[in-house]
Structure 1
């Protein structure tokens, strides 16, 4: 399995408004360019998910985090520095992403990843990547590639051929941070 070839193939699909199925640092995810409203609509339709339920966006470092958020509370960096497992932060006032990925309260869930495939794909895209679990809304989150439903496999434009034998970790923990430094743990 050639990582660079998979990055190239996934990039081509995403650059043309497509959606991909790919391994993340936690579970298998469905993703697209986080700035492409039409691609995001495809994911909502495939997951049979209400557009009022926003999805996570992955970034590959501080620079991209600052592209998406003008103001990042200091506590966010402290949480990320001390996190022992993948951690998703919900932050206020996102920018430079599609409107239909932003929650009704003007917040966005974001996770900084360094998993090689995701990191390098975003490096090539120069944009954040949507990440939502590879299941129809309300169904169980698949722990392995084999558990992903045929409906999801057929509904994406490209399936990344990496880590198919990997048993996924649990989803990330989710912490909501307000600009007023309020901290609320959503999922441990």
Structure 2
């Protein structure tokens, strides 16, 4: 397992796109600060940059550099904190310095502190968050097994981190941290 995690980190550092297990489905990930890697991921997904992306991390400290929390109340922050780690994605105001290739057309960024042990280990070893989007082509269902990822995406991505998805049946719930508005049910 450790060798697989080290290989995944090497691929991320070199600007590659990896597939990895999350709480419900396999995700596609790359280094959020590498514009070329993000563009490659968007091409694989056939996803418009305007939609913005999610960052997945092992800790709050990993996503904080991308977020502007200066005007958030303790209650708003508490909403997110009590749900983490877990399959909950929260949309926060983004810092002006956060790249548009992450935020898309928005002034916000979606972030999740994952409870999946492999995601936790990978982000800790990598030392930062990853971009996270479901591992599938736009018209197909998200992959839930390593074999499904191989069949659908092996020729398009740089590495598949072997793993097993968690027990969640749906991708993460997405809410706005300021208004608590539900964007996607989990």
**Normalized against structure 2, the TM-score is what?**
0.86
SS across alignment from 1:35: coil
Distance 1:149 1:167, change over 3 A: farther
Query: What is the match of residue 88 of structure 1?
Result: 89
Deviation at 1:157, TM superposition (A): 0.3
Identify the range of structure 1 (74-83 vs 19-28) with the bigger mean alpha-carbon deviation. 74-83
Unaligned runs of 5+ in 1: none
After superposition, the Cα gap between the structure-2 partners of 1:96 and 1:61, relative to the gap in structure 1 and judged at 3 Å, is farther
Q: Which runs of 4+ in 1 moved over 4 A?
A: 82-85
When residues 79 and 101 of structure 1 are mapped into structure 2, their CA distance, relative to the original with a 3 A threshold, is closer
How far has the Cα of 1:152 moved from its partner? 1.5
CA apart distance, 1:114: 3.2
- Change over 3 Å in CA distance of 1:70–1:107 after alignment to 2: closer
| Distance (whole Å) between structure 2 residues aligned to residue 186 and residue 106 of structure 1 | 16
The alignment status of 1:170 with 2:170, answered yes or no, reads yes
1:168 CA displacement: 5.9
Q: Do 1:91 and 1:176's aligned partners in 2 also have CA atoms closer than 8 Å?
A: yes
CA RMSD of aligned residues (A): 2.4
Matched residue count: 182
Q: Secondary structure at the match of 2:49?
A: coil
| Deviation for aligned residue 1:99 | 2.7
Counterpart of 1:89 in 2: which secondary structure?
strand
Q: CA deviation at 1:76?
A: 3.2
Per-residue CA distance 1:89-138 (angstroms, 9 max, x = gap): 01112466543011312111100113222112212222211110011124
Q: Deviation per CA, 1:131-161, whole angstroms, max 9, x where unpaired?
A: 1001112432233334347341211100112
TM-score, structure 1 as length reference: 0.85
Q: Compared with structure 1, are the counterparts of its residues 120 and 144 closer, same or farther at alpha carbon in structure 2 (3 Å cutoff)? A: closer
In structure 2, the gaps of 5 or more residues are none
Describe the superposition over 1:29-88 as per-residue Cα deviations: whole angstroms up to 9, x where unpaired. 110111111000001111111111212111211211322213163323334315795100
Aligned mates of 2:97, 2:58 — CA distance in 1: 15
Alignment of 1:1-188 (within 5 A): 2=1, 4-71=2-69, 73=72, 74=74, 75-82=76-83, 86-94=87-95, 97-148=98-149, 150-163=151-164, 169-177=169-177, 181-188=178-185
